C-alpha cells in the first residue's frame, strides 16, 4: 500500500487503519523491537518532521518501530503535509487511554530526522573525594 499516494489523493490519512497487511507488518516490527505495551496516560501528540512527505517511507513497515508499534495499541496515526513548509505533521491519538505516546512519537521524529534516538546516560554512582562549597 502506498500511503503517501493516498495522502495526496485523499488528504489526512489514518495510516494503520487502511491495510490489514500494514497492521500485520507493524505487529511483526514491534515484536522484533521488543516494545512493551503503552501505559495508562493517553491523548494526542503531534510533531513536525523536517522532511517533505514525499521523502518519507511509503511502506508502513519501513517506518520506525517506535511508530509502527503504536498500531498494536490501537492508536490512530495521521501523517499530513504542512502547507508551505515542505515538512510533515505526524499526529498520534490514543483512543482508549494509552500512554507513553509522546515518547514514541518523539522517537519516530528523531529517527526520521537524525537517523537515531539520542540516548542520555544514567546518573553515575558517587564516591566523594573532595570538599564542599560553603
Partner 1 sequence: MKALCWQGVGRLAVETVPDPVLLNRQDALVRVRASSVCGSDLHLLNGFVPAMKPGDVIGHEFLGDVIEVGADVRRHRPGDRVVVASPLGCGACVHCAQGRWSLCDNSNPQPELAEAVFGHAGAGIFGYSHAFGGFPGSHAEYIRVPFADHGAFTVPEELSDEQALFLSDAAPTGWMAAEQAGAGPGRTVAVWGAGGVGQMAARAAQLMHAEEVVVIDRVPARLEAAVRNLPGVMTIDATEENVHERLVELYAGRGPDCCIEAVGMESDSAGPQRVYDRVKQRLIPGTDRAGALRQAVRACAKGGTVSVAGVFGGFVDKFPMGAVMNKALTLRSGQQHGQKYIPDLIDAVVRGDLDPSVLATHRMGLDQGPYAYELFNHRADGCLRAVLYPGRSEAPQPAP
Our finding on whether 83 is near partner 1 (CB under 8 A) is no
- DSSP-assigned beta bridge partners for residue 44: 93
Axis crossing angle, helix 65-72 with helix 20-33, rounded to the nearest 10: 120
Residue among 10 and 122 whose Cβ is closer to partner 1? 122
Residue 9 as a binder of partner 1 (CB under 8 A): the answer is: no
Residue 120 in contact with partner 1, rule: CB under 8 A = yes
Binding-site size for partner 1 (CB under 8 A) equals 30
Nearest of 122, 113, 107 to residue 33 by alpha carbon: 107
- Gap between the Cα atoms of 22 and 92, Å rounded: 16
Note whether 65 and 33 are within 8 A (CB).
yes
Stretch that binds partner 1, among 5-13, 42-50, 52-60, 91-99 (CB under 8 A): 42-50
Interface with partner 1 (CB under 8 A): 47-48, 50, 85, 87, 102, 106, 109-110, 113-121, 123-134
Amino acid at each position: 500500500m502506498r500511503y503517501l499516494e493516498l495522502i495526496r489523493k485523499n488528504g489526512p490519512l489514518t495510516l494503520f487503519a487502511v491495510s490489514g497487511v500494514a497492521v500485520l507488518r507493524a505487529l511483526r516490527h514491534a515484536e522484533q523491537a521488543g516494545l512493551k505495551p503503552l501505559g495508562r496516560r493517553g491523548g494526542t501528540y503531534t510533531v513536525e518532521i523536517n522532511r517533505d512527505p514525499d521523502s518519507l517511507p511509503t511502506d508502513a513497515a519501513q517506518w520506525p518501530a517506535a511508530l509502527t508499534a503504536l498500531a498494536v495499541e490501537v492508536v490512530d496515526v495521521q501523517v499530513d503535509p504542512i502547507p508551505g513548509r515542505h515538512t510533515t505533521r505526524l499526529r498520534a491519538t490514543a483512543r482508549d487511554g494509552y500512554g507513553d505516546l509522546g515518547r514514541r512519537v518523539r522517537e519516530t521524529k528523531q529517527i526520521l530526522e537524525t537517523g537515531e534516538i539520542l540516548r542520555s546516560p544514567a546518573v553515575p554512582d558517587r564516591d566523594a573525594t573532595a570538599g564542599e562549597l560553603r
